[in-house]
Amino acid sequence: MDRASPLVRLADSFFRWHGEIWFLVLQTARHLFAARWIKSLTLEQFSLAGYACLPICLLTVAAGGAVLSLYTAGELVTRGGARLVGWLVAYTVLREVSPVATGLVVAARMGSAYAAQIGSMKVTEQIDGLTAMGISPIAFLVVPRVLACALVTPLLCALSDLAGLIGGSVVAAHSGVAYGIFWRSVQDYLDFGDFFWGVIKGVPFGLIVAFVSCHCGLKTEGGAVGVGRSTTEAVVISFVLIYATDYLLSTLLPR
């Protein structure tokens, strides 16, 4: 009995968490067009997320493309495959490196901020104040953040794609692959679907970050310590779900 109790508690926490997340999703959908001011709040959150995440995304994906090129360009050149370097780097960056790195950056930068902001409001009873004034916390706090993340993440991913290709082309040039050969390889062997399906991954990644972080914030208890705990949980859970969702999408989307 003692040995089974921790498993029962773990299963209870797992299903309870999933139930709370899906309830939050349904509540968000119900309040999606509940108030006119949601558009202005969404635009504010969109601009804040874009401003905060764009430089980090560009640097991260550019570095990822450069490292990928560092490991592949030299080897392919020595084996007569210089004309494939651009395609290999671009395919990997557009399909995997850029969307996953962008999702992780959004989770680390905005997910932590959302959990901390909403968690601080929860422990200081500001959310109770919103409810007392007849304002839905879901409509006021969750909906704008969900819409902003769902919109800004694929946009950041698209911009990061270019940064990753530029980083890869610079390193490839040092390995003996001329810029013209690199970009011609991208043009000849890559199709629009590689770009499109990579960017599409940003939508579920953004939704994961927004819902997980808002849920952690709304469930915060225990003062400042609870806020820190919720922030950590939001980032860790978002990271795990982004990787799991990426694998699932990679198996389902056309290749």
Per residue in 82-130, pLDDT tens? 889 999 999 999 999 999 999 999 999 999 999 999 999 999 989 989 8
pLDDT of amino acid 91: 95
pLDDT digits (tens, 9 = 90+) for 217-233: 999 998 889 999 999 99
H-assigned helices in the chain: 4-30, 38-78, 85-92, 98-106, 112-123, 126-132, 137, 143-174, 179-189, 192-200, 202-218, 223-252
Residue reference for tokens 């210089």: 82
pLDDT digits (tens, 9 = 90+) for 46-69: 999 999 999 999 999 999 999 999
pLDDT of amino acid 1: 43
Residue 47 to residue 51: CA distance in whole angstroms:
6
The average pLDDT across 140-165 equals 96
pLDDT of amino acid 4: 54
Average pLDDT, the chain: 91
Backbone dihedral region of 125: left (phi > 0), alpha (psi from -120 to 50 degrees) or beta? left
pLDDT of amino acid 222: 87
pLDDT at position 12 over 90: no
Say which residues have a Cβ less than 8 Å from residue 39's Cβ, sequence separation at least 6: none
Residue 241 to residue 17: CA distance in whole angstroms:
13
pLDDT digits (tens, 9 = 90+) for 19-37: 999 999 999 998 887 767 7
Residue reference for tokens 């972080």: 213
Residue 120 has a CB neighbour count (10 Å cut-off) of: 19
Check: CB of residue 91 under 8 Å from CB of residue 194: yes
Chain center to CA of 149: 8
Residue reference for tokens 């560092």: 70
pLDDT digits (tens, 9 = 90+) for 183-218: 999 999 989 999 999 999 999 999 999 999 999 999
Residue 150 to residue 25: CA distance in whole angstroms:
13
pLDDT of amino acid 35: 67
Check: CB of residue 120 under 8 Å from CB of residue 216: no
